[in-house]
Amino acid sequence: MAIIIEIVFLSLATIISIICGILIGRQVLIKPNALRLTCFFCTLLNISLLIFGYTRLFIDFPDVLWYYDVYLLLSAIYSEALCICILNLGQRFYPRDYWNTSLFKFAVVSLILSAVSCLTTVVIVILDCYEIIATIFFIISLTSFVICGWAAFTYSFLPIFSSHSHVQSHLNHFNTAIGIYYMVSLGIIACASVVCHIFLHISGGPSSAVWQIGASVDIILRSIVIIIVGTPPPERLIQKLRIKLFERAIVNVTLRERGVVSTGIIMDEFCGWKMDQQIN
């Protein structure tokens, strides 16, 4: 029964990863940039892990230790690439020449330290050290990635907090709505990913069917993140979010800038919709 559930989750992760690859590949062909190319690279990493998952399940190859090393290494590369994507995305919320803040530098340093800690964990697993040592370094590695993700996340969306607090900001309402979309969606997935990785560590290792199911869920979460970061946000959702958050401000700007005067009926428009700078 556990094997059947494992196959179901592995197949579901495969389908979602293929859909993710098609969506990101289309975006790369339509409008290639470093962000989308990195997202496509992350998709290839996920597909590689799925291939190893199938070989482990059906032909028992590679062995557990080698598979776990590969999983840790590819997961580390994915996490590093994802943090770079989030930092790249966050730079677009800052005015030119003002993106290189102290928080950005801290995020870069934590990015490097998390890579080093993960590589150290892989080496310890290869050397087959005591389980307590491997556990300690796994916790250090996970903590460093959480700190790195927090720094990248906070740096990227800090301008949005300032805008919503009526502090001087360089964002217009449209871009603020886009930022809130990214912040909420990525924040939810990030919390789910942390829980998933904790579950992976306490589930008995790659030889356990429960671990393989958790690994499939992890790949599904990764694919969702790639789709969120690598594709433009839904336009209708952004419109509704913008109206919901800034309805009064939009009406005031419409009255002030366009001089709308009527018999008590105000047409609520998106002022300067085509002029707004789109993030994606």
Residue 72 or 36, more confident: 36
pLDDT tier at 232, thresholds 50, 70, 90: very high
CA atoms within 13 A on the CB side of 87: 24
Question: Cα angle at 36 between 102 and 34, to 5 degrees?
Answer: 55
Nearest to 185 by CA among 142, 156, 217: 156
User: Domain 2-258 is classified in which CATH homologous superfamily?
Assistant: Rhodopsin 7-helix transmembrane proteins (1.20.1070.10)
Query: Measuring CA to CA, which residue among 218, 47, 231, 233 is closest to residue 145?
Result: 218
Q: Once rounded to an integer, what is the mean pLDDT over residues 37-49?
A: 96
Mean pLDDT of 226-240: 92
Q: What is the pTM of this model?
A: 0.81
Which of 129-138, 178-187, 254-263 shows the lowest per-residue confidence on average (mean pLDDT)? 254-263
Mean pLDDT confidence for 110-135: 82
The mean pLDDT value of the chain amounts to 82
| Position 164 pLDDT exceeds 70 | no
Give how far Cα 155 sits from Cα of 86, 167, 209, 266, Å: 9, 16, 38, 38
> Is residue 196 over pLDDT 50?
yes
Distance CA 252, CA 49 (A): 52
The single-letter DSSP state of residue 264 is S
Can you give the pLDDT at residue 132?
A: 79
pLDDT of residue 248: 57
CB 214 within 8 A of CB 200: yes
Could you tell me if 36 and 230 are in contact, meaning their C-beta atoms sit under 8 angstroms apart? yes
Nearest CA among 113, 108, 58, 55 for reference residue 83? 108
d(CA 63, CA 55): 10
Mean pLDDT, rounded, for 87-111: 87
| The predicted structure's pLDDT at residue 140 | 86
Question: What integer is the mean pLDDT of 164-171?
Answer: 49
